[in-house]
Amino acid sequence: MKSYLSHLICSKCHEKFDHRELQTFCTSCNKPLLAIYDLEKVKSELARDIFSGREPNLWRYRELLPVLDERHIITLGEGFTPLIKLQPQMGLDNIWVKDDSQIPTGSFKARGLAMAVSKAHELGVSKVAIPTAGNAGGALAAYAIRAGMECFIFMPKDVPNINYLESKLTGAHVTLVDGIISDCGKIVAEKKEEMGWFDVSTLKEPYRIEGKKTMGLEIAEQFDWQLPDVIIYPTGGGTGLIGMWKAFGELKELGWISGDLPRMISVQSTGCDPITQAFEGGKMESEFFENAETVAAGIRVPKAFGDALILQALKESCGLAVSVSDEEILASLSELAQKEGMVVCPEGAATYSALKLLKEKGDVNRSDKIVLFNTGSGLKYPEVLSQIIN
């Protein structure tokens, strides 16, 4: 195994950091760090068909991932999830769902946490901590225990109970917080030095984004290196959207894809939509969203640490940011189950609601190849499903 990781760079001031040392975020401007690869060397030494026939998980792309020694890979077989084509509808012929409900621990969070834990393991970390809206906690707990790490999780007390149960079952120290994810984040930030925790919060270390980047690599390979026209993505912390956009840029630089890149569409709930508000206001950073509330717990993030990177990707891709109501989310969740047999998570249902809105406004066309992201299993939200059935 060989990784072509070269160094880390600040996403804002471009200061370089050594990837052989444990890093968090930029010490100069407090912005996320990005992993940089020697793509010229990749181009001269590898062909894109190298991935064909490899194991069907995200580690098939190991040359473009940050773990240097495969002995440190902590895996449950995550990644390479299916693209499921929906029936033609809304006057649209090519709607696909990238279905991460089939990933270990039941959500796409396993991608980022598998990568972050593996790299932390390589760099000697023994204790990890995370604030979570639910699914990230369960994923971290699973990978941390496989890595022999002690795990500390802080989640709002109103998260789906299954998130609490799976984290406790896996042996994590779980604290329920009277508040939302930003309140949980404050606790981790205040205690991490005293407790010796490595903070794996969204974009406060450089490698979760590399795990999420694999969604973009998979889409490219699964569509035979012809990217879709539109990608609709539920956006909380936004790591996946940023990661996919990074992946497409790397593939373009390698010459492995050609033509226009997809338009990236960010979806939030009207009960918590700081990115949409910033985008509509022409801003490149968001404001803290007060009193955030939505059934889609995973996108209840009042202020994303990587908001500037999210908004930059939307701008560069000629994309959009839209918001949908909880009522629309619940209706879409029900509709996808009854029409397609897919029990998606509320965040995934939000992308279907957003597609309807985009079609009404004329922002997508019949011939567009459109990918919706279902980021987790609806079965992890029994309380939400009960609202629909009852």
Q: How many helices (H) and strands (E) does the chain have?
A: 12, 13
Question: Among 302, 310, 369, 252, which Cα is nearest to 133's?
Answer: 302
Which tokens go with 114? 């598998």
Q: Is the pLDDT of residue 315 over 70?
A: yes
| Predicted confidence (pLDDT) per residue in 161-192, tens digit | 999 999 999 999 999 999 999 999 999 999 99
| Average pLDDT, integer, range 189-203 | 95
| Predicted confidence (pLDDT) per residue in 212-226, tens digit | 999 999 999 999 999
For the chain, give the mean pLDDT. 96
- Quote the strand ranges of the chain, DSSP E: 5-10, 16-17, 33-37, 83-85, 94-99, 127-131, 150-156, 173-177, 198-199, 230-234, 263-269, 320-324, 369-374
The residues, ordered by sequence, that sit 6+ positions from 88 with a Cβ below 8 Å of its Cβ are: 95
pLDDT of residue 134: 87
The string of DSSP codes covering 58-112 is GGGGGGGSS-SSGGG---SS---PPEEEPPPBTTBSEEEEEEGGGSGGGBTHHHH
How much of the chain, in percent, has pLDDT values that exceed 90?
97
| Predicted confidence (pLDDT) per residue in 244-285, tens digit | 999 999 999 999 999 999 999 999 999 999 999 999 999 999
Q: How far apart are CA 113 and CA 207, in angstroms?
A: 8
pLDDT of residue 389: 87
Neighbours of 338 (CB within 10 A): 9
pLDDT of residue 1: 67
Q: How far apart are CA 292 and CA 219, in angstroms?
A: 32
| Predicted confidence (pLDDT) per residue in 94-118, tens digit | 999 999 999 999 999 999 999 999 9
How much of the chain, in percent, has pLDDT values that exceed 70?
99
Q: State pTM to two decimals.
A: 0.96
Q: How far apart are CA 136 and CA 159, in angstroms?
A: 12
- Identify whether the C-beta of residue 363 lies closer than 8 Å to the C-beta of residue 122: no
| Predicted confidence (pLDDT) per residue in 3-54, tens digit | 999 999 999 999 999 999 999 999 999 999 999 999 999 999 999 999 998 9
| Average pLDDT, integer, range 47-74 | 96
pLDDT of residue 334: 97
